Amino acid sequence: MKNRRVLLDSELSPLVLDLFQEAKFEADIISPKKRILRPLLELGDYSAILVRSKVSINFEMLESAGKHLRVIGVFGDDITKIDIADASRNGILVKVTEYGNSYEVANLAARLMVKLISRSFRTRDSKKALIVQTLSDLENDGLTGFELANLVIGLIGCGNVAQIVATEIRPHCQRVIGYDSHLRTVYENFHQRSPLEKPVIEYNQLSEVLEHSDVISIHTAGDEKVFKGKELYFARNRPFIVNTSRSGNIDYSALLQALSEDRVRGAALTLPKEQLREKKLPDWVQPFLKYNNVIIAPCAGVPASDTRRKQARRLARSLIDYVDHKDLSLAVNPMDVVIWKREPRYPLSRGKTRSTVPIFWSR
């Protein structure tokens, strides 16, 4: 009989506990702290774990979990706290929420665009950057700007967030063009399954996006660097730059030089809320504060309550389906985990004798 125990984060249990109980799972609800989590994994034979993205699960914890642990569910938009490579080596699948806070980040990017290009912001009296403490400060009451109808919006990174931004802003602008260095993302989002379908984003090379865009919004993930050198010299239209990615994926020295040389008309950057609230700004931010065409805003927060509940329940169902039926939806490392057992079979030769060279069949 399959092992059916799950370790649940106490903040997620009210949203998903009934699903695990209906599926005949024995659920242990805890507040997952490092000193508590490892002993529990050593003693308990859990087949699944569901935690928030702020919870760290390192190599030692994965090793102590033994052979029973098969899948980890991460609720949130940050999976850097989970050692995915070590999870794959231990045969553990990692699943994440489908969109995380993609809609919130897309909404933030659109609001920063509107604020940045508004004429009232660009003609304000202050000679320093605008530091936004809360997203409510981005309300656009009384702002005067110019139409997007004749503008080209460029997107660098064309994943979930960029697709949402493009869908929202496409009716208001001339074109939406984009670039992505990941071939899988390009295929999934730009491969036309039907001649009648047309992608929302027109795929271009990076140099073309920089050359033709009036506004550039950056949505890359991981450690991929943007504007590493002289890429901004391709920008003929003096674009506005919006970066809502959490990771430090911009070469800030290149962006700073472009601002000083007036090759960029303005920039909107984001920081964690804690740094803005405590006024502990990182060193790279300091040179940007003297430019009055720069906005420093907090990163987008958690999804709305109803969206949060739907995402948590979808992730919980996906964990249950993996334990029961090997379902791979929402997985981030499906190709790295050995799902099926490989058994040697020795085929019959023409002489009706068994071959000494095995072939492997998966089941």
Q: What is the mean pLDDT of residues 138-155?
A: 73
361 Cβ partners below 8 Å, 6+ apart?
Answer: 342, 343, 345
Read off the pLDDT of each residue in 94-111 and give the average, rounded to a whole number.
83
Q: What is the β-pairing status of strands 93-96 and 71-75?
A: parallel
pLDDT digits (tens, 9 = 90+) for 167-225: 888 888 889 999 988 766 666 666 555 555 667 888 888 889 999 999 999 988 766 67
> Domain spanning 5-100+305-345 has what CATH number?
3.40.50.720
More confident residue, 277 or 70: 70
**Edge-to-edge strand ranges of the sheet holding 294-298:** 130-131, 294-298, 266-271, 240-243, 215-218, 152-156, 175-179, 202-203
For residues 130, 131, 133, 137, the Cα torsion angle rounded to the nearest 10 degrees is: 10
Q: Which two tokens stand for residue 287?
A: 């040179």
CB distance 78 to 55 below 8 Å: no
Q: Which of 114-128, 186-200, 219-233, 261-275 has the lowest mean pLDDT?
A: 186-200
SS3 82: strand
Does residue 362 surpass a pLDDT of 50?
no
Which residues are CB-contacts of 114 (< 8 A; sequence separation ≥ 6)?
Answer: 140, 143, 145
Q: What is the domain partition of the chain in residue ranges?
A: 5-100+305-345, 102-298
Domains 5-100+305-345 and 102-298 share a fold: yes
Q: In Å, what is the CA distance from 324 to each residue of 1, 15, 44, 299?
A: 11, 21, 19, 37
Crossing angle for the helix pair 160-169 and 102-117, to the nearest 10 degrees: 50
User: The dihedral of CA 80, 242, 267, 179: what is its sign?
Assistant: positive
Asked whether 212 and 150 are in contact (CB, 8 A), the reply is: no
3-class DSSP assignment, residue 177:
strand
Percent of all residues in the chain with a pLDDT value above 90, rounded to a whole number: 21
Q: What is the pLDDT of residue 363?
A: 42
The C-alpha atoms of residue 352 and residue 344 are separated, in whole angstroms, by 18
pLDDT band at 24 (very low <50, low <70, confident <90, very high): very high
d(CA 150, CA 181): 27
CATH 3.40.710.10 for domain 102-298:
no
pLDDT digits (tens, 9 = 90+) for 50-77: 998 888 888 888 887 777 888 999 987 6
